[in-house]
Amino acid sequence: MNNLDIISVNIWQIALSLINLVILFLILKKLLFKPVKKIIAEREKEIMAEYDKASATNAEAEELKASWEEKMSGAQARADEIIQDAVDKADRRNEVMLYETREKAEAIIKKAKADADRDLRDAQESIRQEIISVSTALSEKIIGREINMDDHRDLIDSFIDNMGDE
Amino acid sequence: MSIVFLILSVLPIIAGILIKVLFVPAADGIDITGAHVFFTIDLPLGGLPITEAQVNSWLVILSIMFFCLFLTHGLKTKNISNKQVIVEFLVEKVDGLIKANMGEYFMGFAPFIAAILSLSALSSLMSLFGLFPPTSDINIVGGWAILVFILITYYKMKCGPLIYAKSFGDPVPFLAPLNIISEVATPISMAFRHYGNVLSGSIISMLIAVALANLSNLVFGWIPGFVGDIPFFRMGIPAVLSIYFDLFSGCLQAFIFAMLTMLYVAGGFPQDEYMRRKAARKAAREKASAESVAADAAEA
């Protein structure tokens, strides 16, 4: 007989088919489910890593932004301060310079006044000497005799002083 | 490289056809028998006949194995190919089926259910190639059903044999014999349902084919020459029947077998009781370890 009967139970065949199913189970587990699960888990991990990276970068960017903003506002304040300082300094220097200039000018004016006074006095003196000598000479000529310079000095001086006052 | 695996996964089917052509004598007329026996290995209890059914189921397993290698070859995490979309869809689908029907605890069953589904469906679909479908052999399906029965019993016994024995006296003790019968009936009914559907499908197909040939002979037999011998009625009509008996019935029976496996295994497992015991054991262990730590501390 070459064919089995339509219903023929054989314990070995049953065991064999049972083992076949177990083998197929192992094959599917090792060759299909394991690699696919692995790749899915890997992808999930990668995506999670990407998410983490993105959120970390985001946080970093936020932090940077905040610090820059802080720095910017600080820089603005600092710039204002610097400008204010510079303005103050310039003002102060300006004042100092003005003061010095004024002092110098006053000194110059004073000196000029003093010079002028001295010149005037010198001129008065020389004029007086001149007048004294001229008047002496004239008086000598007129009176005809020599005038004692020392005798007449007081007289002449008072005359000249009166003349200078007029 | 992956195309090699694809070719290798088709080769077993071609090999099956070749084996059938070379070694199985053609049957003439209505000849409803079981699988062809190639040779018998001498073993006690009747010996092990290596039959067409066994060979074909090995071929199916080989084919599935190479197809798995083809599918999982070159998996990537980025820029995935269509092939990978399909294989991930398949795996997630089976996982979803397990999760929906059995719960999280049984996720390890996914490859087993996938094995039942693919082996059963492809075995039934062997008849499309004119090969003997292994599922129409009671021994093949019986082996699967017994494996499922072992699993059911294993999970029922997870809380100890006492609870398992007690479950037979439910709801009233004198129903115990009936419960035992229904327990034993589970694998038998599973095996016979699957086997009977596939076998009856091929028997009906064959009967109808022969009947159509005779009808054709009756109607067109008077035409002289070879034209009268052409069985016109056998064109087309058996193909439609084949769609039902081979394609639809084969896939449906595979699905039913897998579904019943899931329901029986998950349904027989007293999960609440098991979880409670597990939690109690864990608590006891923790308590013991805490006590030992306290004792050590006291000693120190």
User: Which residue has better confidence, B222 or A46?
Assistant: A46
Cβ distance of A24 and B71 shorter than 8 Å: no
- B87 has a chain A CB within 8 A of its CB: yes
Residue A4 forms part of a structural domain:
no
Contact A3 B61 (CB under 8 A): no
Q: How does pLDDT run across A67-124, given as a tens digit for each residue? A: 999 999 889 899 999 999 999 999 999 999 999 999 999 999 999 999 999 888 888 8
Per-residue pLDDT for B147 more than 90?
Answer: yes
* Residue B36 touches partner A, C-beta closer than 8 Å: yes
SS3 for chain A is CCECCCCCCCHHHHHHHHHHHHHHHHHHHHHHHHHHHHHHHHHHHHHHHHHHHHHHHHHHHHHHHHHHHHHHHHHHHHHHHHHHHHHHHHHHHHHHHHHHHHHHHHHHHHHHHHHHHHHHHHHHHHHHHHHHHHHHHHHHHHHCCCCCHHHHHHHHHHHHHHHHHC
Q: What per-residue confidence (pLDDT) applies to B244? A: 86
- Which has more confidence, A139 or A54? A54
Say whether B143 and A39 touch across the interface (CB within 8 A).
no
Contacts within 8 Å (CB) and 24+ apart, A132-136? A132/A156, A132/A160
Lowest pLDDT segment from A54-58, B158-162, B231-235, B262-266: B231-235
Distance (Å) of CA B77 to CA A46, A67, B74: 8, 38, 10
Would residue A129 count as lying in a domain? yes
Looking at residue B35, what DSSP letter applies? P
Which residues in chain A touch residue B25, judged by CB atoms under 8 angstroms apart? 2
Q: Residue A1: inside a domain, yes or no?
A: no
Percent of chain A with pLDDT over 90: 47
State the pLDDT at residue A111.
92
What are the two backbone dihedrals, phi and then psi, of residue B167, each rounded to the nearest 5 degrees? -65, -20
The number of folded domains in chain A is: 1
In a domain, A2, yes or no: no
| Domain membership flag for residue A5 | no
Contacts of B147 in chain A (CB under 8 A): 18, 21-22
**Choice between B257 and A155, residue whose per-residue pLDDT is larger:** B257
Touching check for A36 and chain B: CB below 8 Å?
A: yes
User: How far does the CA of residue B28 sit from the closest CA of chain A (Å)?
Assistant: 14
Q: Verify whether the Cβ–Cβ distance B34 to A16 is below 8 Å.
A: no
What does the pLDDT read at residue B165? 83
Q: With respect to residue A147, please indicate whether it lies within any of the assigned structural domains.
A: yes
Q: Tell me the residue range of the domain where A150 lies.
A: 11-165
Single pTM value for the model: 0.73
- Predicted confidence at residue A67, as pLDDT, reads 93
A17 Cβ contact partners less than 8 Å away, ≥ 6 residues apart: B54, B57, B134, B139, B140, B141, B142, B143, B144
Distances (CA, A) of B170 to B173, B177, B180, B188, B270: 6, 11, 11, 22, 14
Residue numbers in A near B46 (CB within 8 A): 10-12
Give residue B95's pLDDT band: very low, low, confident or very high (50, 70, 90).
very high
Residue A77 resides in a domain: yes
Optimal mutation site among B69, B138, B154, B190, interface A, most CBs of chain A within 10 A: B138
Q: Is the pLDDT of residue A1 over 50?
A: no
Q: What is the mean pLDDT of residues B66-72?
A: 90
State ipTM. Answer: 0.86
The mean pLDDT of B261-281, rounded to a whole number, is 87
